[in-house]
Amino acid sequence: MGKGLPPQPSFDVESQYHRTRPPPPPMFLPPVPEPWIAWLLPLVFVANIVMFCVTMYVNDCPGTTGRPDKCLLYDYLGRFSFQPFKDNPLLGPSLITLKRLGALDWKLVVRGKQAWRLMSCMWLHAGVIHLLVNMISLLSIGIRLEQEFGFLRIGLVYMLSGFGGSLSSALANGRKQTISVGASGALFGLLGAMLSELFTNWTNYRNKCQTLTTMVLIIGLNLAVGFLPHVDNSAHIGGFISGFLAGFILLMHPQFGYVSRKHIPPGYDIKHKVPKHKCYQYLLLVISFVLLIMG
C-alpha cells in the first residue's frame, strides 16, 4: 500500500481577509452641551410687570379724573384702577401717563432730542391685555432660546431688536401723530432670530422642512396681528428684521459632525475632519453685520 499524501493546509481567503483587515477608526463625538439656566428673560418678565404696576400708580385714575366711579375696578384696585374704556380699551393708563414715563413720540425724539425714548418705550405697556400677550410670547419664545444660546447672546438680540423696532416706528410716516409702547419689537426680533438661526445652522436640523414650515406659520400669524387697528406694525417689522440679521451674527453653531481638537485623545488623527463652519455661514455673518451697521 502506498503512503497517502500529507494533508494540505486549508486556506480560507475570506477568513484571512477578516484577520488582516485593520480595525475601523474610532468615532469621536463632542459631548452634548448642557442647557443654560434661563434667568435673564424671566428677569425681563418681572421687570415689565413691576413697570406696569409703577405706571398704574403714577396714572392714579381716581385722582387725575376726579371721578373714581368712572375708573374701572376702582372698588378693588383703588389708585391702581384702570382708565375708562373710552380712554383705553386695553385696561391700562392714560396716554398722558405713558408719554410722561417714556412712550415713543416722534416729535419728542426728533425735535425734542429725547433719543432715550427709543429704549424706554420697550418697558411700557398700554394695558393688561397688551402686557399679557407680550409676556406670554416672551416666555414661550425666549426661554428656549436662552437655554440654548445663553443670556449674553439672547440679551443682545433682544435689546438690538427692541431698538430697531423703536427706530422703525419713529421713522414710519403713519406713526408721527401717535405714541408707541411695548416690547413687541424685541419679541419679533426673537422670532426673526429663530428663523435666521434655522438657516445658518441648517445642517444641525433633522426635520428641516417641518421646522421651517412651523416657524414661517408662527411668524406669519404674528405679523398678521400687526394689521389690526391701533397696532404698530412698523415696530414689529423693524424688530423682526433687526433680530433676523442679529441671529446670523450671534446664533451661529458649529456644523453637524464637527469635533473640536480638545475632544480628540492624544495620538489620534482624523483624516477627513469636518470644518467648524461652512462658507455660507461666514458669508451670511458678514452680510448681516454690514446691513446692521448701515441700517
Quick: pLDDT tens for 121-132. Answer: 999 999 998 899
C-alpha 270 chain-centroid distance: 36
Q: How many CA atoms lie within 13 A of 16 on its CB side?
A: 4
Task: Count CB atoms within 10 A of the CB of residue 261.
Answer: 7
Task: Count CB atoms within 10 A of the CB of residue 73.
Answer: 12
pLDDT at 217: 81
Alpha helices (H) in the chain, listed in sequence order = 13-20, 40-59, 61-65, 74-77, 95-101, 106-110, 117-120, 128-149, 151-171, 184-200, 208-225, 233-250, 279-294
Q: What is the pLDDT of residues 131-145, one digit of tens each?
A: 998 998 899 889 989
Catalytic residue among 184, 196, 234, 242: 184
Tell me the pLDDT band of 111, cut-offs 50, 70 and 90: confident
Query: What is the mean predicted confidence (pLDDT) over 48-72?
Result: 91
pTM of the model: 0.81
Tell me the pLDDT band of 154, cut-offs 50, 70 and 90: very high
Contact 123, 163 (CB under 8 A): no
Is residue 236 part of the annotated active site? The answer reads yes
pLDDT at 249: 93
Q: What is the pLDDT of residues 177-236, one digit of tens each?
A: 778 898 989 999 999 999 998 888 877 676 767 777 877 887 777 777 666 556 677 888
For residue 35, pLDDT over 70 is answered with yes
Catalytic residue among 94, 180, 196, 236: 236
Task: Count CB atoms within 10 A of the CB of residue 9.
Answer: 5
Q: What is the pLDDT of residues 231-285, one digit of tens each?
A: 677 888 999 999 999 999 999 877 766 666 665 666 566 655 666 767 888 888 8
Query: What is the mean predicted confidence (pLDDT) over 3-27?
Result: 53
pLDDT at 226: 64
C-alpha pair distances (Å), 266 with each of 155, 261, 263, 269, 287: 38, 9, 9, 8, 38
pLDDT at 17: 47
- Tell me the pLDDT of the chain averaged across its residues: 81
pLDDT at 66: 82
C-alpha pair distances (Å), 286 with each of 280, 281, 289: 10, 9, 5
3-state DSSP call for residue 61? helix
How many percent of the chain have pLDDT more than 90? Answer: 37
Is residue 184 part of the annotated active site? The answer reads yes
How many percent of the chain have pLDDT more than 70? Answer: 76
